[in-house]
Each structure stands twice: as C-alpha cells, then as structure tokens.
C-alpha cells in the first residue's frame, strides 16, 4: 500500500444545508465547547483505529482480519489505540473543534509484533509478515485529525475503553435530536437508510464471528464451508441480534447503526452445528470450549452504514447544488466485480472455494480503488487529483475499502466471482470534507 499518513478530517458543520449550531439545543457556550472537543477526540480515536486496521499485513490479511481472530488480540489493540496521546484542541467560530493525534508506523508494527508473540494462536500470519510491513509504508507517521461539532451523542465504532479517556460530557444533557439535514429527508427514506445500515451491521457481525479462530489452522469460516448443511445452519449465528443505537450524520445523508449479538448465543450455535453436522471431523468440542474461554466480552458488536435511496439523494443534491454540486456517482452505490481461483493443491475442496472467494474479493476491491480514483468531481478535477495531492485521501479510501460490502459470491467450478460495493455518498463525504477544509485554509486551493 501507499502512504499511511491518515490525516482524517471529519468536518462537523454542513456545507450543504447550512450550519448546525449545537443541533438546535439550548446549551451554554462553555458546554458547547466541551461537547465539540469530546466529539473531536472520539473522532480522532475512531479514525486512528480505522487507519491501523486498514494496514495490509500480507497478500491475504489486513490488520482488521488479524484482530478479528481473537477477542484477546482485539482488546490488546484497543488498549494500544486508547493510549495514543492527543494534541491540543483548536476551536473555530462555529464551535466546531479540531483535535490532532499521531503515532509512528514503527510503534504500530512493534505493538502488532508484541501482540502476535503473546496472543496469536494461528499460522496464517507470521511474525516475519508483520516485520516486513514497513517495506510497504512510505511514511513514518500515521496522523489523524478528528473534528467534532457540539452534539450530545458520540459516533459509533470507538475502540473499547476510549470513552473513559475522553473529555467528560456535561451533566443533564437532553437526548440528541434528529439533525436538521435529516428533517429535510422524508421519514420513509430515513427509515430505509436505517434498515440498509442495519443490514450492513449484520453482515459485519457475521464476518466478525466467522473470523474467530477455533484451532491453529481453522477459523469459523473454514468450519462452516465444510458442508452445505453447516453453511445453512450458520445463518443462525445472528440469533439474539439487537440494534444498540442509531447515529445520524448531520453533515451528509449517512446513517450508522450499531448492532450486537450475545457471545453465548454464538457459541451455542457453533456447538450445535458441530454436534449435529460434523461428528468425527478435525474440530473437537474442546476446541470450541477454548474459544469460549478466550472471549472477554459479553457481546459481539459491529457498525454498519446506510444512505437513503438514489431518488431521495437526488432531491437532497438539488437542495445542495447552490453550495457545492454533488456529482452523479455519489447518489448511487459504486460496484465492481472480481474473479479468483484456488491454489492448484486446493482445487475441488471447501478450503479451495474459500481461498478463491478471498482472491476474487481482493481483485474486486483493487478494481474498485482504480475506478474510484477515476471518478470526476467536475469537468477538470478527478478524485485521482486529490489522491496525488493529499495522502489522507489515499489512506482514508484504503481504510474504508477494506470494509467494502460483499454483495454477492458465485462459483463456476473452481472460479469465484465476487461483487463488492459501497455507497457513493461515503466516497463523496471524504472528498467533500477535504474541499471544505481546504477552502478554510489561507493560500490553498482545491486541486484542478
């Protein structure tokens, strides 16, 4: 991968539908400053985690996959991120706050090596893989700039324990209202966006569960590919799913939903599938018991993203045209298809199908990156121009492409075809944030 300098700016004032002042809640100015600082701190930690998890370890594995294998590893990485020191806050006239943070790539690699030595039980990621990560990193520092508005609620997806180190919130605050942007979108469209985000959260939960390690050479996803019976039963792994909370962005029409599944229901389902479907296989009941002992939390949690339907986004874009025209590609999903085949010695096996699908997924994401870089902002400017000038754009696109949604997986013999996609509005949010912040900086201009 290219640079991992991830200067991520989450601008918290809408440049499209007018400024939002304390989300129309009557909050004293001093408390507004505290809330915006708290939001900016949370944004910095969240984006730092996204950047680190978006780093590639080897040809098949990202840090995201590595930490998903074990709850102990996930907890150790969260603890590391929580310990990163933040810079001094800076406030703007509209009460938004900016908080920087940075960590050296060498320190990240050192931490991953230590976590690997102490906690890793598998054979897919070797210590030498982590040591060689610095060969693909052009810069020496991962930088994050978090920016937040004076809103009551925090963004989802924070590393575990981060809320403990944030600036304390003022007491007796009212519940967060629906942001002004979303009050201009029909309630039905808001509901459908929430449902889309919830489906994405459930998909990510299933990925999280299937990435758990059972034995040194077997993940849950390997286990469930052994037979069609197991694959069908595996759909029950989301039994007990609950929606934890909904987070409506106030600067773009994007909604995030956080969902949870009880750990004990997941383990119970794995045990049931094991006892009912694969007696005598290489997976033993004691292996599953070991998984239970290594999980430290009570629920699995994941956050998904959704946007309104294209028609509603077009109406929104029409309202926004006077301030910053939204390109047509931002109003629909962006999709690409990739192909993959298994290694010759795995052809015709369940594991071979899994490896073919993984290769096809990486191929589709590579094509998605190339396509996105060619998208045009206007007649004279493409996203590639932003990528060339700003390392943060390249790094942020890399980070969220790791989590692009797998929409379909099909097999024709040993060859797998995978379609991946993500909302165009998610890409536009990254570019639009950079356009807005660049216009605030004296002596700079937008690329193109």
Query: pLDDT tens, 260-294?
Result: 999 888 887 777 766 665 544 566 666 666 676 66
Query: Quick one: 87 exposed, middle or buried, by C-beta within 10 A (0-12, 13-18, 19+)?
Result: middle
Nearest by Cα to 312 from 191, 180, 433, 176: 191
Provide the angle, in degrees to the nearest 10, between the axes of the packed helices 29-53 and 391-402.
70
Q: Which residue(s) pair with 248 in the sheet?
A: 255
- pLDDT per position as a tens digit, 333-358: 999 999 999 888 888 887 788 889 88
Q: How many helices (H) and strands (E) does the chain have?
A: 16, 13
Q: How far apart are CA 241 and CA 28, in angstroms?
A: 39
Q: 273 by DSSP, 3-state: which?
A: helix
Phi then psi for residue 102, to 5 deg, are -155, 155
Nearest by Cα to 21 from 36, 6, 7: 36
Task: Kindly list the averaged pLDDT for each block of 10 residues, start to end, along the chain of length 448.
Answer: 38 33 61 91 91 85 87 92 94 85 92 94 88 77 83 89 91 80 90 94 86 77 62 68 91 92 82 61 64 76 91 83 78 92 85 86 89 86 79 70 83 92 87 69 52
Identify the pLDDT of residue 68. 87
Q: How far apart are CA 238 and CA 438, in angstroms?
A: 43
Q: Would you state the torsion angle of the CA atoms of residues 31, 33, 37, 38, taken in this order, to the nearest 10 degrees?
A: 10
Query: Quick one: 201 exposed, middle or buried, by C-beta within 10 A (0-12, 13-18, 19+)?
Result: buried
Enter the DSSP assignment of 139.
S
Spell out where 188-276 has E strands.
Answer: 213-215, 218-219, 242-248, 255-262
279: left (phi over 0), alpha (psi -120 to 50) or beta: beta
Identify the pLDDT of residue 96. 83
Identify the pLDDT of residue 240. 86
306, 191 in Cβ contact below 8 A?
no
Q: How far apart are CA 131 and CA 138, in angstroms?
A: 15
Q: How far apart are CA 304 and CA 146, in angstroms?
A: 20
Query: Quick one: 319 exposed, middle or buried, by C-beta within 10 A (0-12, 13-18, 19+)?
Result: middle
User: By 3-state DSSP, what share of the chain in percent is helix, strand and coil, each rounded to 5?
Assistant: 50, 20, 35
387: left (phi over 0), alpha (psi -120 to 50) or beta: alpha
Phi then psi for residue 440, to 5 deg, are -85, -15
**Dihedral of CA 269/270/271/275: which sign?**
positive
Identify the pLDDT of residue 257. 96
| C-alpha separations of 394 from 46, 327, 370 in Å | 17, 19, 11
Nearest by Cα to 331 from 251, 423, 421, 248: 423
CB atoms within 10 A of CB 347: 14
Enter the DSSP assignment of 23.
G
337, 419 in Cβ contact below 8 A?
yes
Q: How far apart are CA 330 and CA 424, in angstroms?
A: 4
Nearest by Cα to 158 from 5, 30, 45: 45
Identify the pLDDT of residue 383. 85
Q: Which two tokens stand for residue 360?
A: 């096809």
């Amino acid at each position: 991968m290219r640079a991992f300098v991830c200067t991520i700016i989450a601008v918290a004032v809408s440049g499209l539908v007018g400024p939002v002042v304390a989300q129309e809640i009557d909050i004293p100015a001093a408390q507004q400053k505290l809330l915006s600082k708290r939001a900016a701190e949370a944004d910095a930690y969240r984006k730092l985690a996204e950047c680190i998890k978006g780093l590639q370890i080897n040809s098949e594995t990202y840090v995201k996959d590595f930490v998903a294998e074990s709850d102990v590893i996930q907890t150790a990485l969260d603890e590391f991120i929580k310990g990163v020191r933040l810079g001094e806050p800076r406030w703007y006239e509209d009460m938004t706050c900016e908080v920087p943070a940075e960590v050296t790539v060498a320190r990240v690699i050192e931490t991953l090596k230590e976590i690997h030595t102490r906690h890793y039980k598998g054979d897919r990621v070797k210590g030498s893989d982590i040591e060689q990560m610095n060969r693909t990193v052009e810069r020496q520092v991962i930088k994050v700039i978090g920016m937040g508005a004076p809103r009551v609620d925090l963004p989802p997806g924070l590393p575990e324990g981060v809320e403990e180190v944030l600036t304390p919130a003022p007491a007796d605050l009212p519940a967060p209202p629906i942001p002004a942007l979303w009050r201009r979108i029909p309630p039905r469209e808001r509901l459908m966006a929430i449902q889309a985000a919830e489906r994405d959260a459930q998909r990510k939960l299933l990925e999280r569960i299937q990435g758990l390690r059972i034995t040194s050479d077997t993940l849950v996803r390997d286990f469930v590919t052994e037979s069609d019976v197991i694959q069908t039963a595996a759909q029950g792994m989301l039994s007990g799913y609950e929606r934890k909370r909904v987070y409506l962005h106030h600067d773009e029409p994007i909604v995030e939903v956080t969902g949870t599944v009880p750990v004990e229901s997941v383990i119970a389902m794995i045990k049931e599938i094991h006892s009912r479907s694969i007696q005598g296989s290489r997976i033993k009941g004691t292996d599953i018991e070991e998984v239970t002992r290594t999980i430290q939390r009570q629920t699995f949690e994941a956050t998904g993203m959704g946007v309104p339907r294209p028609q509603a986004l077009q109406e929104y874009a029409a309202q926004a045209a006077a301030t910053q025209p939204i390109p047509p590609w931002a109003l629909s999903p962006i999709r690409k298809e990739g192909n993959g085949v298994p290694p010759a010695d795995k052809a015709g096996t369940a594991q071979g199908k899994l490896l073919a699908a993984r290769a096809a997924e990486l191929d589709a994401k590579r094509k998605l990156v190339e396509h996105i870089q060619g998208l045009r902002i206007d007649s004279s400017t493409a996203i590639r121009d932003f990528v060339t000038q700003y390392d943060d754009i390249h790094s942020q696109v890399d980070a969220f492409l790791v989590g692009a949604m797998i929409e379909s997986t099909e097999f024709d013999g040993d060859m797998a075809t995978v379609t991946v996609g993500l909302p165009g509005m998610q890409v536009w949010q990254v570019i639009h944030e950079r356009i807005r912040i660049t216009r605030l900086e004296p002596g700079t201009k937008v690329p193109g």
